[in-house]
C-alpha cells in the first residue's frame, strides 16, 4: 500500500485510515469478547486485521492548479487509479480493501462503519490498535482527530451504562521525530527517551508519563496536550504538516464491584507520516 501512495504522488487524496489488530487483553477475563468483523453486513467474517481506505477531495491548492482526481471508488471495497490521458495506460489499476470510503463520506461514517467496533472492544478486555498511514497532506490527522473524539464519547457512554463495574482510564503519548522518542505529556523529559524490553510488558518507553483521566473532559484535555506538542512544519503539500509519528495509548482497566478481578486492555492510536520534501 505504501508503494501505491508513493507511486501516485500526483494527486494526494488517498490514505489508510484504519488498520486494526486485536488480541486478548491481560489478565484473562470472563467477559464476553466481541471479535473483529469485516464490514459487510450479514456476510461479515471475523478478522484480526481490517484495512479501510478513505479518499479525500481535492483541496484548494490542488483545485487552483487544476489537478485531476486520480482515485475513484467503484464499490464499497474497491478503488481504481486512472492514469492521466497523456500516459495512455492500458487499463486502470484497481485495489481491493475491507472497506472504502469516498470523498463525500463523513468522518462519522468512517468511525461507525470502520472503527467503532475496534475502539469499543477494549472495554471487553481485548487489545486494539487504530492505525493511520498515508502521505503528507492525505488527511490522517483530520481523520484521527474526528475518530478519537467519537471514540471517547462512546467509551464514556459505555462506562456510564455499566454500573456493575468500576473503570480506570490512563493515557500516554509519544512522538517519534528524527529517530528520537519524546514524551508528549511531559515537555521536560527531553527528546530521546530509551526503549526497554520488559519480560512481562514487552517493549516499553523508559520514564514515559502515564496520566489517569478523571472524566471524559479531562481525557480530551490530555489528548489536546499531546496534539499541541507535536512537531509541525511546512512542506510543499501542506503549510502546517505534522512532521512526526505519534502514538497515543489508552489503558482501560475495569473491575467488578463485587470482587477484585481486573480486566486490562489497550487502545493504541499510531499516526505514521510519510514526508514530501520541498
What residues are designated binding site?
A: 134-141
Instruction: Report d(CA 22, CA 30) in Å as an integer.
Output: 17
Identify whether the C-beta of residue 216 lies closer than 8 Å to the C-beta of residue 156.
yes
Instruction: Report d(CA 246, CA 112) in Å as an integer.
Output: 23
Q: What is the CA radius of gyration of the chain?
A: 20
Q: Closest Cα partner for 212 from 174, 156, 168, 249? A: 168
User: 136 φ, ψ to 5°?
Assistant: -50, 135
| β-pair partners for 46 | 37
Distance of CA 177 to the CA centre of its chain: 18
Q: Which three cell numbers stand for residue 90?
A: 492500458
Q: Which three cell numbers stand for residue 17?
A: 485510515
Binding-site residue ranges for ATP: 134-141
Amino acid at each position: 500500500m505504501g508503494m501505491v501512495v508513493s507511486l501516485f504522488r500526483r494527486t494526494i487524496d488517498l490514505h489508510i485510515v484504519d488498520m486494526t489488530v486485536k488480541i486478548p487483553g491481560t489478565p484473562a477475563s470472563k467477559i464476553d469478547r466481541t471479535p473483529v468483523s469485516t464490514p459487510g453486513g450479514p456476510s461479515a467474517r471475523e478478522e484480526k486485521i481490517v484495512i479501510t481506505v478513505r479518499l479525500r477531495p481535492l483541496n484548494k491548492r490542488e483545485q487552483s492548479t487544476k489537478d485531476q482526481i486520480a482515485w475513484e471508488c467503484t464499490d464499497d471495497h474497491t478503488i481504481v487509479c486512472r492514469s492521466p490521458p497523456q500516459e495512455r495506460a492500458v487499463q486502470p489499476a484497481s485495489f481491493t480493501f475491507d472497506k472504502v470510503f469516498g470523498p463525500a463520506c463523513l468522518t462519522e461514517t468512517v468511525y461507525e462503519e470502520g472503527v467503532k467496533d475496534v475502539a469499543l472492544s477494549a472495554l471487553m478486555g481485548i487489545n486494539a490498535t487504530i492505525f493511520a498511514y498515508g502521505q503528507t497532506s492525505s488527511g490522517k490527522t483530520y481523520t484521527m482527530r474526528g475518530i478519537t473524539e467519537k471514540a471517547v464519547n462512546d467509551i464514556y457512554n459505555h462506562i456510564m451504562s455499566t454500573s456493575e463495574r468500576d473503570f480506570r482510564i490512563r493515557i500516554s503519548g509519544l512522538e517519534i521525530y528524527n529517530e528520537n522518542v519524546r514524551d508528549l505529556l511531559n515537555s521536560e523529559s527531553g527528546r530521546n527517551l530509551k526503549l526497554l524490553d520488559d519480560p512481562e510488558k514487552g517493549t516499553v518507553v523508559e520514564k514515559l508519563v502515564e496520566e489517569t483521566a478523571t472524566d471524559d473532559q479531562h481525557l480530551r484535555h490530555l489528548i489536546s496536550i499531546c496534539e499541541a506538542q507535536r512537531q509541525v512544519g511546512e512542506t510543499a503539500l501542506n503549510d502546517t504538516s505534522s512532521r512526526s509519528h505519534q502514538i497515543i495509548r489508552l489503558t482501560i482497566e475495569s473491575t467488578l464491584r463485587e470482587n477484585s478481578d481486573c480486566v486490562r486492555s489497550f487502545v493504541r492510536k499510531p499516526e505514521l507520516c510519510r514526508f514530501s520534501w520541498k
